[in-house]
A and B are shown apart, each in its own frame.
Chain A
């Protein structure tokens, strides 16, 4: 040790100064993503997720290929969004643009459905049904198939670039891109006749928009599903932020039950023999290894958690091996958890003592709150369900009772009336007949009211003047210019107004449009 020259106390003034970028204050501007290597989980939730994945992906990829006979006038595709003709086909339902409120209703139902599910069973959407979750799962299947499970993947990631590593990586990304193309490809088939679009797409004759769409969706699928994964949920998706408002103390959330797990110990047997208090958790980290979001559920509720329940599967497997009850990690409500914690810590007075939860035989004491499924049917959930069902029933009613024949009338405003040479008064109307079924029909157009009035349809052969039969095309709007004339001495009849009646005599479908008749002195 060197001899330091001694300073006299007080000879140097100490200044209270600190650099603005002192090392202890420095923070990185950004953080790079920490790689996550989710391990394959096995158990009931994983099996359920496989099932949901199979169903949702099948629906997405196969729906456009379902054929549906619509006759000669419409495409034979069960689900089709025909933007060019502005028609939406869904099996036996055909929706015109002015019926778009059905789609709005579906969106309202989707919104309330999300509230309903979230308040009942937590973030089930995120964990099971969200496309991001499903496709990441699919991409992980490919990754495991080529590179192996967690440990093998970590080794490969750390290994230097060898021919074998290049081969594996190229194969993985190639298959990912193929899935991306298939995903974008399936999307465009919803907007055109699938088989013919497939042919023209492969022959490079499809519209540029089709290729653009496939390219963009391929890129998003590949980037979100393959490269970004949990980053999408953590940083990009608004839904996790909304959870806080959706969940309450009775919603199901994936919970680490530390009232029985803590204090965790890797050497439970030794510790127990030494008389220490040990919980059920053996700190094996299986729950962390399987987590696709790369979090530790034992840290409590986190916004990153998508409640996919794979940690439950992983932990249940470990508990089975140890001969302990399942459910160290489980779906639980926050209120049950809080009650159990209060019991384990005697209302926060002590640290967690899992012995308080068990009787002499090691079974849980009666006070331990277990999940009661009846809590799902609480007023809030029932209210959501009622609103959701109400919208659904209303839409079903609207669907079965809606007109497939519609008559719209536009009264000429300029001029509002025309006086003919014999003194009679003529009004012009633009009639639009909407034939909303894929069949040609004959519609009978009749004047109702104003008994002396006569009707003339431009470009049609003269009828009897009160009623005409008009041919309308399948699935089309037929526009007719109609002139209605009242004789000079019968103008008073216009006071009561009149109606146009359109009727399909074979099916008795009809639509009536009440109209006005202008004449000198009444025009506004």
Chain B
């Protein structure tokens, strides 16, 4: 410091810094303050020895106490898993009906199923389970294979048309291009369209009804309301898996689309399938 400045009022030297004419007095520190400062330095050295602190090229010093935040997290995760263990065991040892009957267990299963759904199912069915064209909406009340908890369980466990599972649900709609002439296909589609709306050519409906009874009723039912045993969809309601309208029906009759769902029992285990079944049932369309 070159030029000293003495504060007029106190007679104390200032540090020489000045902000808007305000200067800082340079009084000596209280002793306890300086000692506290030294203590913090000693503390910092001790801390650096005891805990991970110094970054090196590829890692950091470990610290003699061996503390690590990752170990802490995994300990907490283990603890959380242990806290859930009771419920998981009960889910593993109960049937889906038992879980549905026990409110506490059901709540746990719904929460666990929701998270399992986001990992395993959302890719096809969507994160809100609303599905899309060719992928069933799981919120609504139409179920190709049944909407009771145990039926949903069966579907998830063994899949749909999944060749790797012997108990998988299988059904196949034939292509009608060989069996029916194009105008017959159109007539049948007109009849199907008439069940839920107005067909493009109402004159075709009468002949279409006859064709439907001969060719389609065996699977979709005489009233076109579908058959759960065969996974045949209801054609008389507002929900369409592969597109709505006459043209979609024609397309499906000419080259049927068949969705495939993997069997999940081997992949994620029985308890998680139960949780998923309870969760899907709780979405609002469960029976």
> A-side interface residues toward B, CB under 8 Å?
25, 27-33, 228, 231, 235, 412-415, 418-423, 426, 428, 458-459, 481, 483, 488
Q: B286: nearest residue on chain A (CB-CB)?
A: A458
In the assembled complex, the CB of A245 is this many whole angstroms from the nearest CB of chain B, namely 14
In the assembled complex, the CB of A380 is this many whole angstroms from the nearest CB of chain B, namely 25
Which residues 8-36 of B have a CB within 8 angstroms of A? 13, 26, 28-34
A421 touching B141 in the complex, CB below 8 Å, given contacts A27-B13, A414-B128, A483-B284: yes
Does B140 contact A29, Cβ atoms closer than 8 Å?
Answer: no
Does A231 contact B30, Cβ atoms closer than 8 Å?
Answer: yes
Nearest 3 Cβ contacts at the A-B interface: A414-B128, A415-B130, A421-B237
Q: What 0/1 pattern do residues 99 to 139 of B give for CB contact below 8 A with A?
A: 00001000000000000000000000011111000000101
Q: What 0/1 pattern do residues 243 to 287 of B give for CB contact below 8 A with A?
A: 000000000000000000000000000000000000000101100
Query: Which residues of chain A are within 8 angstroms of B196 by Cβ–Cβ distance?
Result: 423
In the assembled complex, the CB of A389 is this many whole angstroms from the nearest CB of chain B, namely 36
Interchain CA distance A483-B283 in the complex, whole Å: 10
Q: How many A-B contacts are there with CB distance less than 8 Å?
A: 77
Does B139 contact A418, Cβ atoms closer than 8 Å?
Answer: yes
Q: A32: nearest residue on chain B (CB-CB)?
A: B31
Does B31 contact A488, Cβ atoms closer than 8 Å?
Answer: no
In the assembled complex, the CB of A10 is this many whole angstroms from the nearest CB of chain B, namely 31
In the assembled complex, the CB of A211 is this many whole angstroms from the nearest CB of chain B, namely 21
Interchain CA distance A29-B30 in the complex, whole Å: 9
Does B284 contact A30, Cβ atoms closer than 8 Å?
Answer: no
B83 CB-CB contact with A under 8 Å? no
Does A30 contact B130, Cβ atoms closer than 8 Å?
Answer: no
B194 CB-CB contact with A under 8 Å? no
B238 CB-CB contact with A under 8 Å? yes
B239 CB-CB contact with A under 8 Å? yes
Does A422 contact B32, Cβ atoms closer than 8 Å?
Answer: no
Does B30 contact A30, Cβ atoms closer than 8 Å?
Answer: yes
> B-side interface residues toward A, CB under 8 Å?
4, 13, 26, 28-34, 103, 126-130, 137, 139-142, 196, 234, 237-239, 282, 284-285
Query: Which residues of chain B are within 8 angstroms of A415 by Cβ–Cβ distance?
Result: 126, 128-130, 137, 139
Q: B127: nearest residue on chain A (CB-CB)?
A: A414
Q: B29: nearest residue on chain A (CB-CB)?
A: A30
A31 touching B28 in the complex, CB below 8 Å, given contacts A418-B139, A419-B238, A488-B238: yes
In the assembled complex, the CB of B115 is this many whole angstroms from the nearest CB of chain A, namely 15
Given contacts A27-B26, A32-B30, A414-B126, 8 further A-B contacts (CB under 8 A): A31-B30, A413-B128, A414-B130, A418-B130, A421-B141, A421-B234, A422-B238, A458-B282
Query: Which residues of chain B are within 8 angstroms of A413 by Cβ–Cβ distance?
Result: 128
Does A30 contact B139, Cβ atoms closer than 8 Å?
Answer: no
A30 touching B28 in the complex, CB below 8 Å, given contacts A418-B139, A418-B285, A458-B282: yes
A31 touching B142 in the complex, CB below 8 Å, given contacts A419-B238, A458-B282: no
Does B32 contact A231, Cβ atoms closer than 8 Å?
Answer: yes
Query: Which residues of chain A are within 8 angstroms of B142 by Cβ–Cβ distance?
Result: 421
Query: Which residues of chain A are within 8 angstroms of B127 by Cβ–Cβ distance?
Result: 414
Does A420 contact B141, Cβ atoms closer than 8 Å?
Answer: yes
Does B103 contact A459, Cβ atoms closer than 8 Å?
Answer: yes
In the assembled complex, the CB of A430 is this many whole angstroms from the nearest CB of chain B, namely 12
17 chain-A/chain-B pairs, Cβ below 8 angstroms: A29-B29, A31-B30, A235-B30, A235-B33, A412-B128, A414-B127, A415-B129, A415-B137, A418-B130, A418-B139, A419-B238, A420-B238, A420-B239, A420-B285, A421-B140, A423-B237, A458-B282
Does B239 contact A29, Cβ atoms closer than 8 Å?
Answer: no
Q: B37: nearest residue on chain A (CB-CB)?
A: A30
Query: Which residues of chain A are within 8 angstroms of B141 by Cβ–Cβ distance?
Result: 420-421
In the assembled complex, the CB of A214 is this many whole angstroms from the nearest CB of chain B, namely 22
Query: Which residues of chain B are within 8 angstroms of A428 by Cβ–Cβ distance?
Result: 139, 284
Query: Which residues of chain A are within 8 angstroms of B285 by Cβ–Cβ distance?
Result: 418, 420
For A27, A419, A421, which residue has the most chain B Cβ atoms within 10 angstroms? Answer: A421
Q: A426: nearest residue on chain B (CB-CB)?
A: B284
Interchain CA distance A459-B286 in the complex, whole Å: 12
Q: B239: nearest residue on chain A (CB-CB)?
A: A421
Does B239 contact A458, Cβ atoms closer than 8 Å?
Answer: no
Interchain CA distance A31-B130 in the complex, whole Å: 75
A458 touching B284 in the complex, CB below 8 Å, given contacts A421-B140, A423-B238: yes
In the assembled complex, the CB of B198 is this many whole angstroms from the nearest CB of chain A, namely 14
Does A31 contact B29, Cβ atoms closer than 8 Å?
Answer: yes
Does B284 contact A28, Cβ atoms closer than 8 Å?
Answer: no
In the assembled complex, the CB of B236 is this many whole angstroms from the nearest CB of chain A, namely 9
Query: Which residues of chain A are within 8 angstroms of B34 by Cβ–Cβ distance?
Result: 29-30
Query: Which residues of chain A are within 8 angstroms of B140 by Cβ–Cβ distance?
Result: 418-421, 426
